[in-house]
């Protein structure tokens, strides 16, 4: 049972987003719940600084099992129900926002199906926050009136690809790709084939707001080489569209906690 009954409800699961990684970007509510929870289930995506804040005896890493493979979602779901039924106040902590490519929706469904009360605590998604600290607004009155958030995990040449790259190319708006480092060559090719201009600006923001944030910039044609030169690896956000080019005009004056233009690859 919780010692902090006034702050959290025992037997309840809190689906909490951590924000992109800087502890200062946790919401006040997320911080309060992390302090009061009996147990926090997390993976690596909240980033090293936030994970280090969690007391070791009250946290469970459910990201990877021994041997390195990913813990099946079904096991995480079952663990959440089990801990709540034991009377714990449980925080399920996800990187960014739990409901943006975070499986929060699946966890909510599972909890509801098992009659476990839960609360959803929204957060800054890396899809917006990582570009922002790198000086890239995902919309801009002069450059983009829409923004699409898509997964880059899928093979764009697959018959039944869940992401319609042709349709995205036609929007004229910003395309923000999550989980898109590995397949960058595939979907930039798909967008070029769909008729997007080769000089369309593209930026990659790796570990946005973490120590060691890295940015690489280029165009639809050059970004794969820029990725390789900079050694960009996951987690990173890809921003495609004219907004990615506005960075250049502001970056000299852009001050952040995560380094300045000098760190740019």
Catalytic residue numbers, as ranges: 43, 64, 179
Work out the burial of residue 90: count CB atoms within 10 Å of its CB; fewer than 13 is exposed, 13-18 middle, 19 or more buried. Answer: buried
In whole angstroms, the minimum distance from the beta carbon of 52 to ligand SAH comes to 15
Site pattern 78..117 for ligand SAH (x: CB under 6 A): ----------------xxxx--xxx---------------
CB atoms within 10 A of CB 73: 13
Q: Which residue has the tokens 């929060």?
A: 104
20 vs 173, beta carbon nearer ligand SAH:
20
User: Residue 143, class by beta-carbon neighbours within 10 Å (0-12 exposed, 13-18 middle, 19+ buried)?
Assistant: middle
Q: Which of 125, 174, 214, 217 binds ligand SAH (CB under 6 A)?
A: 125
Q: 21: which 2 tokens? A: 């990684």
Q: Which of 12, 209, 214, 246 binds ligand SAH (CB under 6 A)?
A: 209
135 binds ligand SAH (CB under 6 A): no
Residue 93 near residue 76, CB atoms below 8 Å? no
Number of chain positions touching ligand SAH (CB under 6 A):
25
Give, for 80, the enclosing helix (H) or strand (E).
helix 73-85
Question: Residue 227 interacts with ligand SAH (CB under 6 A)?
Answer: no
Q: Which stretch binds ligand SAH (CB under 6 A): 35-43, 72-80, 112-120, 122-130?
A: 122-130
Position closest to ligand SAH via CB: 96
Build a one-symbol-per-residue string for 28-67: x at contacts with ligand SAH by CB under 6 A, - elsewhere: -----------------x----------------------
Of 106-114, 139-147, 161-169, 206-214, the segment contacting ligand SAH by CB under 6 A is: 206-214
Whether the CB-CB separation of 18 and 122 falls below 8 Å is answered with no
Length in residues, the chain: 265
Give all strands (DSSP E) within the chain, no chain letters.
13-17, 39-42, 59-61, 90-94, 118-121, 147-151, 174-178, 201-206, 214-219, 236-240
Residues of the shown chain interacting with ligand SAH in the complex, contacts defined by CB under 6 A: 20-21, 45, 94-97, 100-102, 125-127, 130, 178-179, 205, 207-210, 234-237
């Amino acid at each position: 049972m919780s010692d902090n009954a006034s702050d959290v409800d025992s037997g309840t699961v809190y689906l909490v987003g951590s924000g992109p990684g800087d502890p200062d970007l946790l919401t006040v509510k997320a911080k309060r719940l992390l302090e009061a929870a009996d147990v926090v289930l997390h993976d690596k995506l909240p980033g090293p600084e936030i994970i280090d804040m969690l007391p070791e005896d009250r946290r469970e890493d459910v990201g990877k099992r021994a041997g390195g493979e990913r813990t099946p979602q079904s096991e995480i779901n079952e663990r959440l129900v089990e801990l709540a039924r034991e009377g714990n106040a449980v925080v399920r902590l996800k990187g960014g926002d739990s409901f943006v490519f975070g499986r929060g929706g699946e966890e909510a469904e599972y909890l509801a199906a098992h009659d476990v009360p839960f609360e959803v605590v929204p957060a800054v998604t890396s899809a917006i926050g990582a570009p922002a600290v790198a000086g890239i607004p995902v919309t801009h009155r002069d450059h983009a009136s829409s923004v699409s958030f898509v997964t880059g995990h899928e093979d764009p040449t697959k018959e039944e690809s869940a992401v319609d790259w042709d349709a995205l190319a036609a929007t004229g708006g910003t395309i923000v790709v999550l989980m898109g480092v590995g397949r960058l060559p595939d979907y930039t090719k798909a967008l070029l084939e769909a008729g997007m201009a080769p000089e369309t600006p593209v930026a990659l923001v790796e570990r946005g707001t973490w120590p060691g944030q890295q940015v690489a910039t280029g165009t639809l044609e050059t970004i794969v080489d820029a990725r390789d030169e900079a050694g960009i690896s996951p987690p990173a956000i890809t921003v495609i569209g004219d907004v990615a080019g506005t960075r250049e005009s502001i970056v000299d004056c852009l001050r952040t906690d995560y380094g300045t233009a000098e760190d740019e690859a």
